Chains A and B, each alone.
Chain A
Amino acid sequence: MNKIFILIALATLSVLSACKKYLDVVPDNIATINDAFSSRVQTEKSLFTCYSYLPTDGDPQSNPAMLAGDEMWLYPDIRISQIINPTGWFVALGEQGISSPLLNFWDGENSGKPLYRGIRDCNTFIERIDGVRDMNSYEKGKWKGEAMFLNAYYHFYLLRMYGPIPIVDKNLPIAATPEQVRVSRRPVDECVNYIVKTLDDAALLLPEKVDLPIEEQGRITKTIALAIKARVLLMAASPLFNGNPDFANLKNKDGEQLFNQAFDPKKWERALAATKEAITMAEGNGAKLFEFVSNATTGNLSAETTRLLSIQGAVTERWNVETIWGLTNSNMNTLQSAAMARVRNNSSLLSCLAPTNRMAELFYTKNGVPITQDKTWNYANKNNLRTGTVAEKYYIKQAYQTAELNFDREPRFYADMAFDGGMWYGIGKYADGGDIWYVQGKLGQAAGRVDIRNFSSTGYWPKKLVSYLCTQTEGTEFTTQRYAWPAMRLGDLYLMYAEAANEVNGPTADTYKYLDLIRTRAGLQGVVASWSNFSTDPSKPTSKEGLRSIIRQERMIELAFEGSRFWDLRRWKEAPNVYNGVIKGWDINQRDAVNYYREKVLANQSFGLKDYFWPIKDNNILVNGNLVQNLGW
Chain B
Amino acid sequence: MRKRNLPITRVFLCLLTSVFVLTWPSLMNASSAQANTFRYEKNYSIGFNAEQILKVFSKIENLTGLQFSYSPADLEGIKPITLVEKRRNVFELLKKLSALTGLKFSLSRGLIAVLPNDAPPIVYKKVQEPIKPVKIDTLIQGQVTDSLKKGLPGVSIYVKGKTNIGTSTDLNGRYSIKVPKNSILIFTMVGYKAVERNTNQSVIDVMLREDDSNLDEVQVVAFGTQKKESVVGAITTIKPSELKVPSSNLTTALQGRIAGMVAYQRSGEPGQDNADFFIRGAATFGYKKDPLILIDGLELTATDLARLQPNDIASFSVLKDATSAAVYGARGANGVILVTTKRGSEGKAEINFQYDHSMSEPTKNLALADPITYMRLNNEAITTRDPLGTQMYSQNKIDGTVEGKDRFMYPATDWMDMLLKRRTFNSKANLSIKGGGKVATYYVTGTLNQDNGILKVDKRNNFNSNIDLKSTSIRSNVDINITNSTQMAVRLYGNFDDYTGPINGGSAVYNQIMNSNPVLFAPYYTPDEANTFTNHILFGNALGNPSDPASLKINPYADMVKGYKDYSRSLMLAQIEIKQDLSGLLLNGLRARLMASTNRRSYFDVSRAYNPFFYTLPDAGVVNNIYALQELNPTTGTETLNYQEGPKQVSTEAYMEFALNYDKDFGGKHNISGMMVGILRNSLNANAGSLQSSLPFRNIGFSGRFSYGYDSRYQAEFNFGYNGSERFYLDKRFGFFPSAGVAWNVSNEPFWKNFRKVVSNLKFRATYGLIGNDAIGSATDRFFYLSEIALNDGNKGATFGLNFDRNRPGYTVNRFENTEITWEKSRRINLGMDARIKDFNVIVDYSRDHRTNILMDRAFIPTTMGLSAAVRANVGAMKSEAFEASVDYNKSFSNSAWFSLRANFTYATNRYEIYEEPDYPEAYRSLVGSPTSQQRGYIAERLFVDAQDINNSPIQTFGPYMAGDIKYRDINGDGRISAADQVALGYPTNPEIVYGFGFSAGYKSFDLSAFFSGLGRTSFWIDNGNTNPFVNGQRALLKVYADNHWSEDNRNLYALWPRLSTTVIANNNQRSTWFMRNGALMRLKQVELGYTMSNKAANKLFMKRVRMYVTGSNLLTFSKFSLWEPELGGNAFNYPLQRVFNLGINATF
Contacts and interface: CB of A to CB of B under 8 A. Distances in A.
The A interface is mostly helix, strand or loop, or mixed, namely loop
Contacts of A97: 957, 978
Interface in B942-998: 957, 959, 978-980
A26 B783 contact: yes
Interface in B598-646: none
11 contacts: A31-B790, A48-B810, A52-B797, A95-B959, A117-B866, A121-B866, A171-B866, A181-B860, A214-B806, A218-B804, A328-B801
Given A8-B594, A99-B979, A214-B802, A168 B866 contact: yes
B860 A178 contact: yes
Contact of B698 (A22, A52, A619): A22
A31 B678 contact: no
Nearest to A119: B866
A166 interface: yes
A5 B580 contact: yes
B545 A81 contact: yes
A608 B800 CA distance: 40
Interface in B540-581: 544-548, 578, 580
B656 interface: yes
B578 A5 contact: no
A319 interface: yes
A261 interface: no
A451 to B, nearest CB: 6
Interface in B768-824: 783, 786-793, 795-804, 806, 808-813, 816-818
A30 B695 CA distance: 11
B594 A183 contact: no
A26 B730 CA distance: 12
B724 A22 contact: yes
Contacts, number: 215
A106 B789 CA distance: 23
Interface string A10-30: 011001100100111111001
A136 interface: no
Interface residues of B, number: 78
Contact of A35 (B678, B695, B791, B817): B791
Contacts of A166: 864
Contacts of A33: 787, 789, 811, 813
Scoring B800, B812, B817, B1063 by chain A CB atoms within 10 A of each residue's CB, the highest score goes to: B800
Contact of A213 (B802, B810, B859): B802
Contacts of A454: 547
Contacts of B801: 213-218, 328
Nearest to A178: B860
3 interchain residue pairs of minimum CB distance: A120-B866, A49-B810, A622-B918
Contacts of A257: none
A488 to B, nearest CB: 16
B696 interface: yes
Contact of B799 (A19, A329, A618, A627): A329
Nearest to B789: A31
A4 B798 contact: no
Nearest to B656: A15
A452 B486 CA distance: 81
Interface stretch (A39-47, A501-509, A514-522): A39-47
A624 interface: yes
B63 interface: no
B864 A80 contact: no
A217 B594 contact: no
Given A31-B789, A49-B810, A117-B868, A174 B816 contact: yes
B798 A51 contact: yes
Contacts of B783: 26, 30
A253 interface: no
A116 interface: yes
B483 interface: yes
B546 A216 contact: no
Given A23-B733, A26-B695, A48 B725 contact: no
B680 interface: yes
B867 A120 contact: yes
- Most central of B483, B545, B656 by chain A CB within 10 Å: B545
A116 B545 contact: no
Given A23-B700, A49-B810, A1 B798 contact: no
A116 B811 contact: no
A46 B918 CA distance: 33
A450 B1133 CA distance: 34
A99 B658 contact: no
Contacts of A120: 865-868
Contacts of A117: 866-868
Contacts of A216: 800-801, 806
Contacts of A270: none
Interface of B: 482-483, 485-486, 544-548, 578, 580, 585, 592, 594, 656, 658, 678, 680, 691-692, 695-696, 698, 700, 724-726, 733, 783, 786-793, 795-804, 806, 808-813, 816-818, 859-868, 871, 918-920, 957, 959, 978-980, 1062-1063
B306 to A, nearest CB: 30
A620 interface: yes
Contacts of A215: 800-801, 806
B110 to A, nearest CB: 26
A554 B860 CA distance: 48
A582 B45 CA distance: 107
A625 B859 CA distance: 12
B800 A218 contact: yes
A623 interface: yes
Nearest to A48: B798
Contacts of B796: 48-49, 52
A328 B726 contact: no
A52 B798 CA distance: 6
Contacts of A35: 789, 791
B802 A106 contact: no
A107 interface: yes
B867 A174 contact: yes
A218 B680 CA distance: 57
A22 B811 contact: no
B866 A482 contact: no
B787 to A, nearest CB: 5
B919 A622 contact: yes
B580 A19 contact: no
A19 B700 contact: yes
A555 to B, nearest CB: 29
A478 to B, nearest CB: 13
A32 B786 contact: yes
A120 to B, nearest CB: 3
A471 interface: no
A560 to B, nearest CB: 25
A12 B656 CA distance: 10
Contacts of A1: 482-483, 485-486, 580
Interface string A557-596: 0000000000000000000000000000000000000000
Given A15-B658, A624-B864, 8 more contacts: A15-B680, A22-B700, A49-B796, A81-B545, A114-B866, A117-B867, A181-B862, A215-B800
Residue of A99, A453, A484 with highest tally of chain B CB at under 10 A: A99
A133 interface: no
A443 to B, nearest CB: 13
A172 interface: yes
B580 to A, nearest CB: 6
Given A25-B698, A25-B726, A620 B863 contact: yes
A451 B810 contact: no
Contact of B789 (A12, A26, A36, A329): A36
Nearest to A174: B816
A22 B679 CA distance: 12
A79 interface: yes
A22 B804 contact: no
Contact of A23 (B656, B698, B865): B698
A433 B609 CA distance: 54
Interface in A54-90: 54, 79-81
Contacts of A22: 680, 698, 700, 724
